Structures are given as structure tokens and as C-alpha cells.
């Protein structure tokens, strides 16, 4: 557990970056600090490992005042991940990951074994271990940064906008990987971001800070969206907070449609309609095509429209609604947990499900939804 008790940071020029902050980051949970520029997020984070010293107040780690600990010992027990990974360019990936273990006196064999293990754990090919940071993509570098922070198995991790320097698709993948790792490892994490969507997705609790480093509200994401403490919090989380809140509502029984599909490389049949869903041989969706634009040739990868998102049947209402609204065909693609097509759904049907909060239990068992699933005829 990390506890801030009346912590203030005032710089020599008189600027107050953090003002009387009292906050508890629970053990084994992710606490996200979010707020506008100048609200003291990073300053608060860096005071935990004493890269910045507080002007007054105290910060404790599992009941121990960090101000009374040796800085070197404190920092070796805390994993630290920053925006651009901060890898040493002249060291290989494996040597980067093994930085802290070597400082702790681990022998080279044990360090190398731990580094290779962590490469796989963060979803990277072990063959990348002998490469240098410049030979990796931005997303790969961030994964190495996370692996390095985990190398000595610290109970606490500090993460300062670690995914903000990569494109949205890679960022989403990194967030999912991070949640998977946290589910396995259960670290105590303070995570800084300026992105409210990222905060809501990742945080067990979200702390919203005002400019000047004052705590406006701290709450679980679902409560924060439903009950903002004041106008500042309401404005920061966004006028569309009702839509964001849908990600905390599991998808109920939806009237899924049996979608006509085509396998990549096949030729569309005559009268295939305005849009066809392209799948692979395992019936995993690849994208949509317009048959009229294909002519007599088979469907090629270049013909695919990949703009629509894919929702999981066991996912959230937000995912289902977004899939329907973002699809070029206006039919949201729904898959099971293995990524195999289950069916499609229309936006107005998702909206009806949102309104129908008192849907009765079904007697028939459905392996995906826990109730009966209605498969309608394709109504494209």
C-alpha cells in the first residue's frame, strides 16, 4: 500500500505542483492519476521513489515512511516505466531488462534466464533479446521497458504515461497486455495518464487532480462516471461519460444475426448485397468488402474495409454499440472469446438492450450469453 498524507510540493520559484494531497493506493491494485496539464500527476508519482522530495507531508510504503529509507534501497524495490521506455541504446534488450538484477548482485546466468522469461511474459519473441533498442518498434520498446521494471519482481510499480508515445492500435494492445500481466502478478501500481479513457480502462481506482495538484475526486471508474463530485470532474471525464459507463455493463442477450460471409480469396456470388463479411478458414472476421467493387476476381486483402471494431459476446455494451456504429455495413461484428464469428447486431438493437435493464432470465442455456440467443435472418 502506498499512502500520501498531506503531501505538498512547492518549487523554489513558488510554484505549488502538489497541494496537500492525501491518497491511498491499495495493495495489488492499479491507481490511476489523471488530470489536465499542470495538475501535478508526474510530480506526485516521482515523489514516491524520491526522485522529487516533498516539501511537507509524508509518503509511506506498506507503513514505512519513504523519507526515512535509503534512496537506493527504495528505488530497487520499485519498478519504474516512463513514456519513451528510457532504454539504454548501447545495451541489448536482454541487458536492458537485466539492469536492476545486476545491480542487486545476480550472476549473469540467472539474470539472462530472468530476462528471457520476461521477454516472453510481455509477449515478445525471445529472439529479440540480442537486438538493440533502435532495432525495435515503439511498441516493442515499451514492452521491454515494462519487462525491465518487472525484472527484480518489485511489489510496487510506477508508470508515467508509458503508452502515450505509440499509435492508438498498439496502445490498445499494450493496455490489454498490461491488464493481463497485472491479473497474473497483482502489483501495487500508480499509473499516470492524461487520457480519461485509458484511466477508466486500466484503473481499479481513478484519482482526478486539479491544476495546482489538488485532489478533486478518487473513486472506482464506474462510480466516477456515474457520480462526478463537481463540475470540474464532470467536464474532465467528458460529456459522453454515459457512453463510457457502458463498458462496465456486461452485454446482455442480443438478437444476433446469422451473417453471410466469404473466405479471403473466394469470388463473391451474384446478388451478395452491399456488404459481405470476410473471414478466414477458422471463421475469424477479417473485414468487410463491397462485392460490386470486386468484379470477377476473388476477394483480396487490399479490398478489405477494416474500420469496424469487433465486439466480444461476453464483453460490454460499449463494445457492442461501438462495433455496430463503426462498421461500414452498420452491422456490428460479434465474436466469442476465441475470436470466432458468432453473428452481427444492429445499433438500435444494442440500444434496446441498454434500455431493457429488467430482462428476465431465459431457461435455455446459451454457451456465450448464458441465455437463449436469437439468430435472425440476415437483414442487411
Q: Which CATH number belongs to the domain containing residue 318 in this structure?
A: 3.10.580.10
User: What pLDDT score was predicted for residue 271?
Assistant: 61
Placement of cell 435493464 in the chain: 357
28 and 119 together in one domain: yes
Domain check: are 224 and 317 in the same one?
no
Q: Do 36 and 92 sit in the same domain of this protein?
A: yes
Do 86 and 179 belong together in one domain? yes
Backbone dihedral angles phi then psi of residue 62, each to the nearest 5 degrees = 50, 45
Residues in Cβ contact with 44 at an 8 Å cutoff, skipping those fewer than 6 apart: 4, 7, 9, 18, 21, 33, 190, 192, 209, 213
> Given 221, 247, 273, which residue is the final one in a domain?
247
In eight-state DSSP terms, residue 268 is P
Residue 281 falls within a domain, yes or no?
yes
Look at residue 270 in the predicted model and tell me its pLDDT: 67
Which residue has cell 477458422?
Answer: 282
**pLDDT value, residue 300:** 80
Please tell me the distance from the alpha carbon of residue 60 to that of residue 154, in angstroms, as a whole number.
Answer: 16
Among 61, 30, 37, residue whose Cα is nearest residue 48 = 61
In a domain, 375, yes or no: no
The residue range of the domain holding 114 is 2-247
For 303-353, the three-class secondary structure string (H helix, E strand, C coil) is HCECCCCEEECCCEHHHHHHHHHHCCCCEEEEECCCCCEEEEEEHHHHHHH
Q: Residue 379: what pLDDT? A: 39
Give the list of residues 6+ apart from residue 178 with CB closer than 8 angstroms, or none.
146, 163, 202
Kindly report, residue by residue over 64-86, the tens digit of the pLDDT.
999 999 998 898 889 998 877 78
In a domain, 372, yes or no: no
Report if residue 80 sits inside a domain. Answer: yes
**Is residue 361, in this structure, part of any structural domain at all?**
no
Same domain, 229 and 269: no
Nearest-5° Cα angle at 156, 152 to 161: 105
Same domain, 229 and 299: no
Q: Is position 333 within any domain? A: yes
Q: Which candidate, 324, 289, 327, 321, places its Cα nearest to that of 308?
A: 327
Work out the burial of residue 163: count CB atoms within 10 Å of its CB; fewer than 13 is exposed, 13-18 middle, 19 or more buried: buried
Facing residues of 158 across strands? 80, 190
Q: What predicted TM-score, i.e. pTM, was given to this entire model?
A: 0.74
Q: pLDDT at position 295, please?
A: 66
Strand order in the sheet with 331-335: 310-312, 331-335, 341-346
Residue with cell 525495435: 136
- Confidence (pLDDT) at 11: 93
Q: Are 339 and 330 in contact (CB under 8 A)?
A: no
- Asked if residue 234 and residue 286 are part of one domain, the reply reads no
Domain assignment present for 83: yes
Both 80 and 192 in one domain: the answer is yes
Compute the distance between CA of residue 90 and CA of residue 234 in angstroms, rounded to an integer: 46
Same domain? For 212 and 189 the reply is yes
* Per-residue pLDDT at 296: 66
Q: Are residues 243 and 279 in the same domain?
A: no
Judge if 102 and 233 occupy the same domain.
yes
Please calculate the CA angle 262-264-267 and round it to the nearest 5 degrees.
60
User: Do 47 and 71 belong to one domain?
Assistant: yes
Ranges of residues in the chain whose predicted pLDDT is under 70:
239, 270-272, 295-296, 357-380
Q: How many domains does the chain have?
A: 2
Determine, yes or no, domain membership for 366: no
The confidence score (pLDDT) of residue 299 equals 78
End-to-end CA gap in the chain: 53
CATH code for the domain in which residue 138 is found: 3.40.50.300
Helices (H), 26-167: 41-48, 71-76, 93-97, 99-103, 108-121, 138-150
Amino acid at each position: 500500500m502506498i499512502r500520501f498524507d498531506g503531501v505538498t510540493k512547492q518549487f523554489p520559484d513558488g510554484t505549488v505542483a502538489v497541494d496537500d494531497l492525501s491518497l491511498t493506493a491499495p495493495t495489488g491494485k492499479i491507481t490511476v492519476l489523471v488530470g489536465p496539464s499542470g495538475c501535478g500527476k508526474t510530480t506526485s508519482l516521482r515523489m514516491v521513489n524520491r526522485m522529487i522530495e516533498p516539501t511537507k507531508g509524508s509518503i509511506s510504503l506498506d507503513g514505512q515512511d519513504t523519507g526515512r529509507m535509503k534512496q537506493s534501497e527504495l528505488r530497487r524495490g520499485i519498478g519504474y516505466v516512463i513514456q519513451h521506455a528510457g532504454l539504454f541504446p548501447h545495451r541489448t534488450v536482454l541487458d536492458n531488462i537485466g539492469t536492476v538484477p545486476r545491480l542487486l548482485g545476480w550472476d549473469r546466468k540467472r539474470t539472462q534466464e530472468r530476462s528471457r522469461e520476461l521477454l516472453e511474459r510481455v509477449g515478445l519473441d525471445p529472439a529479440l533479446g540480442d537486438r538493440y533498442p533502435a532495432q525495435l518498434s515503439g511498441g516493442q520498446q515499451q514492452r521491454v521497458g515494462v519487462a525491465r521494471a518487472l525484472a527484480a519482481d518489485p511489489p510496487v510499480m510506477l508508470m508515467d504515461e508509458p503508452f502515450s508515445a505509440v499509435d492508438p492500435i498498439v496502445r490498445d494492445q499494450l493496455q490489454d497486455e498490461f491488464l493481463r500481466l497485472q491479473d497474473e502478478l497483482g502489483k501495487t501500481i500508480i499509473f499516470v495518464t492524461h487520457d480519461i479513457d485509458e484511466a477508466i480502462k486500466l484503473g481499479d481506482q481513478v484519482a482526478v487532480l486539479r491544476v495546482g495538484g489538488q485532489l478533486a475526486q478518487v473513486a472506482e471508474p464506474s462510480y466516477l462516471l456515474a457520480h462526478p463530485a463537481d463540475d470540474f470532474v464532470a467536464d474532465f471525464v467528458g460529456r459522453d461519460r454515459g457512453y463510457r459507463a457502458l463498458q462496465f455493463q456486461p452485454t446482455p442477450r442480443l438478437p444476433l444475426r446469422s451473417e453471410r460471409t466469404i473466405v479471403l480469396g473466394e469470388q463473391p456470388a451474384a446478388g451478395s448485397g452491399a456488404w459481405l463479411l470476410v473471414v478466414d478458414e477458422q471463421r475469424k472476421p477479417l473485414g468487410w468488402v463491397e462485392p460490386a467493387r470486386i468484379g470477377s476476381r476473388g476477394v483480396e486483402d487490399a479490398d478489405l474495409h477494416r474500420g469496424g471494431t469487433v465486439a466480444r459476446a461476453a464483453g460490454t455494451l460499449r463494445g457492442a454499440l461501438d462495433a455496430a456504429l463503426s462498421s461500414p455495413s452498420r452491422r456490428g461484428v460479434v465474436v466469442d472469446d476465441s475470436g470466432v464469428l458468432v453473428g452481427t447486431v444492429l445499433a438500435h438493437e444494442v440500444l434496446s438492450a441498454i434500455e431493457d435493464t429488467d430482462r428476465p432470465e431465459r431457461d435455455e442455456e446459451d454457451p456465450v450469453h448464458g441465455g437463449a440467443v436469437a439468430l435472425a435472418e440476415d437483414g442487411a
